[in-house]
Amino acid sequence: MSFNITGTYFILGQTGTYLEFTDTSSSTNLTTWHFTGGPEQQWILTPAAGPTSSTPVYTVKNVKYNTYISYPTTGNPDVYVTQSSAAYDWFVETYGNGYAFASDPSFGSAWNVDDAYSDDNNPVIMYRCCDTWTLSAVSATSSSISGSPAPTSPTGSVAATTKPNVRLIVGLSVGLGGALFIVIVCLVIFRRKLSCSCKRAKLIDSL
């Protein structure tokens, strides 16, 4: 699937926590935290030349520390996703309601929150596919608010807020009002006819 997710985002895991680097130390684990809106939770996604593949490839750079999300293939027995000063190519594909990030196009393993914990300072590991990651575009206001930003869908558009169908509501109101008016008119006519019938009956009796 072709898509373009170039930009700066908050990256939300399916545990309800966000990707974050906590310092500039090389090989520091990538971790997840509840939303703060700070630059340590903001990520620049840039298309990478990468190997020849039909799957889009991106680098993911932290706004605050200018370091990259990386995956060392040696000396990493616990398969942690870590921090590096060197850019690293990640394969990206749409998955669930968001995206999956893997170190190779087979997506045999991808970013996963360790043990699916939702607490703070939980590491991200490479594990069999896949956790879903949602991208929320950073705006002028989203980094200064306490609430979580609105997610960006895989099609690149922000989910629309559901609005009531005003025309339908007005139409129903008018229809119900009209029906009530007709019922009232019928009752008035019936009452008049009934009154006239009673008067005729009394007149006949008097004769």
**Within this chain, do residues 45 and 112 fall inside the same structural domain, yes or no?**
yes
**Within this chain, do residues 113 and 184 fall inside the same structural domain, yes or no?**
no
What is the model's pLDDT at position 73? 76
**pLDDT value at 67 more than 70:** yes
Per the structure, the count of domains in the chain is 2
In one letter, which amino acid is 173? S
Give a yes or no: residue 156 inside a domain. no
The residue among 143, 63, 69, 67 whose CA lies nearest residue 101 is 69
The predicted-structure confidence for 151-197, as pLDDT tens digits, reads as follows 665 654 333 333 334 333 334 344 545 556 565 655 545 555 545 44
Peptide bond into 196 cis (omega under 30): no
Beta bridge partners of 91: 57, 102
pTM score, whole prediction = 0.69
**Within this chain, do residues 118 and 175 fall inside the same structural domain, yes or no?**
no
Residues spanned by the domain of 19? 7-137
Residue 202: CB atoms within 10 Å: 9
3-state SS of 55-112 is CCEEEEEECCCCCEEECCCCCCCCCECEEECCCCCEEEEEECCEEEEECCCCCCEEEE
Domain CATH code at residue 68 = 2.80.10.50
What is the model's pLDDT at position 177? 57
